[in-house]
Structure 1
Amino acid sequence: MKTDIQLQQDVMAELLSEPCVSPAQIGVDVKDGVVTLAGQVDSFTAKWGAESAAKRVAGVKALAVEMEVRLPGMIRHADRDIARAVGNVLSWMPYLPQDAISVTCEKGWVTLSGEVQWKYQRESAHAAIRHLMGVLGTSNQILIKPARSTSLAKDDIETALNDQAHVDAKDILVTIHGAEVTLSGNVHSIAERYQAKNSVWRSPGVNNVIDHLTVS
């Protein structure tokens, strides 16, 4: 088991690997395996990136986020302009049903609601708006309601993994339960882990991916 000092060092190292994060802006405190991130960042993208980096560190029991987003020069965008930008981005995503997602913006905080058939649609919509100027935070309240049951074939999932140029699929085990796919085994990098998960999400019929992959 890692000590708190080891965890702090690992989190700080992971922050250095996140291109959208300036580690100098973020303080890292660890007590009993609980990591607290504090400080001020200049975009919601940086805040999200810091949270994601900390979550990737093995041994972190829980994460407390006390970071504040302060836009450069105290720039403020009207909520109506942010909501319009979010709506435009979502309308450009070909795999999202038209008018399936509702957008609410209050003081820079964007809430997405509505219904989609697959989890990848829910996650993709959320990911697409995090980088927009003026967004200070997000709440993803989109519900997943599959239209029908679709049988998944293990061979199809494994083929999708093998087709990825940056994924070494021979050490990845695929388990299917209904419309849920579990990946376990070893990959060589965080980037390879990300590619493997994305390739499964693109497979028809998948509405959840459980990641038990280990980076070695």
Structure 2
Amino acid sequence: MAGRATSRSDDEIQRDVLAELAREPRVQPNEIGVAVQDGVVTLRGWVENYARKWAAERAAQRVRPVRAVANDLEVRLPSSAERDDPEIAAAVTRTLEWDAFVPASQVDVTVSTGWVVLRGEVEWEYQRRAAEQAVRRLAGVRGLTNGISVRPHEVPEPDEISERIRSALVRSVETDAAGIELRIEGDSVVLTGDVRSWLEREEAERVAWSAPGVANVDNHITVRR
């Protein structure tokens, strides 16, 4: 396939991930160990909050051609950031209520030893993601499980869903549409093929989710070495 990137060694990828972590102001790279095997990055060590754990993962995903990231970073909250579960639950609830993209009345919140679990149903994936983004920046959060389901109110015909997604992939400057295949199975979209980076893979999934009527996206796209 035209435009394929030159295969890079695990050592080269490791160096680039370490460099990307060093330029990411939201993390402390001296606390993070990086291992790479067959293009899969493993992050180990500890960070002071869940937001930094997520930022480190995103930094690794920006490096081409990282195929996947295993985030084994431990969150060790400093004593000043410790919050009890009722306090965290109240903060999560307030945050969701203040977020214009989140239908807070449709989301249930559970907190156990700093780990937040979100459940409920929303109509769009962007609402599900907005809830997660709002919570992961809160002080005291050690981890997050997003169990919110997407349940569209209306489901267009499969051909219409497919055409909308294909057109959006072609328009997007962040995806190589020629390397992506899709099929519609009811209200689910299945993505296959290969792309140049993990972020391009993620963008293809976001585009698929943006089509009306999509309740699930199975992303089997691989990242080229």
TM-score strictly above 0.5: yes
5+ residue gaps, structure 1, are 1-5
Shift of the 54–165 alpha-carbon distance from structure 1 to 2, 3 Å rule, reads: closer
CA offset digits 1:52-85 (Å, max 9, x no partner): 6667833x6x9472x3222356422343332233
Task: Determine the C-alpha separation between the residues in 2 that align with 1:34 and 1:21.
Answer: 20
Paired residues of 1:90 and 1:128 also in contact (CA < 8 A): yes
Paired residues of 1:120 and 1:207 also in contact (CA < 8 A): no
Q: State how many pairs are aligned.
A: 208
How far residue 47 of structure 1 moved from its aligned partner, in angstroms, is 1.8
Residue 92 of structure 2 corresponds to residue 86 of structure 1: yes
TM-score between both structures, scaled by the size of structure 1: 0.71
Q: Which secondary structure state, in structure 1, belongs to the residue aligned with residue 169 of structure 2?
A: helix
Shift of the 92–8 alpha-carbon distance from structure 1 to 2, 3 Å rule, reads: farther
Q: Which secondary structure state, in structure 2, belongs to the residue aligned with residue 82 of structure 1?
A: helix
Q: Which secondary structure state, in structure 2, belongs to the residue aligned with residue 205 of structure 1?
A: coil
Residue 173 of structure 2 corresponds to residue 173 of structure 1: no
2:5 aligns with none
Q: Which secondary structure state, in structure 2, belongs to the residue aligned with residue 134 of structure 1?
A: coil
Paired residues of 1:16 and 1:22 also in contact (CA < 8 A): no
TM-score between both structures, scaled by the size of structure 2: 0.69
Task: Determine the C-alpha separation between the residues in 2 that align with 1:49 and 1:77.
Answer: 21
Greater relative contact order, per chain length (Cα 8 Å cut-off, separation 6+): 2
1:3 aligns with none
1:125 aligns with 131
Residue 221 of structure 2 corresponds to residue 212 of structure 1: yes
Paired residues of 2:102 and 2:130 also in contact (CA < 8 A): no
5+ residue gaps, structure 2, are 1-8
Letter aligned with residue 17 of structure 2: E
Task: Determine the C-alpha separation between the residues in 2 that align with 1:36 and 1:191.
Answer: 17
1:57 aligns with 66
How far residue 38 of structure 1 moved from its aligned partner, in angstroms, is 2.8
How far residue 50 of structure 1 moved from its aligned partner, in angstroms, is 3.8
CA RMSD of aligned residues (A): 3.7
Paired residues of 2:180 and 2:221 also in contact (CA < 8 A): no
Kindly, what percent of the aligned residue pairs are identical?
Answer: 38
CA offset digits 1:104-141 (Å, max 9, x no partner): 22332212122334555434422331122221111233
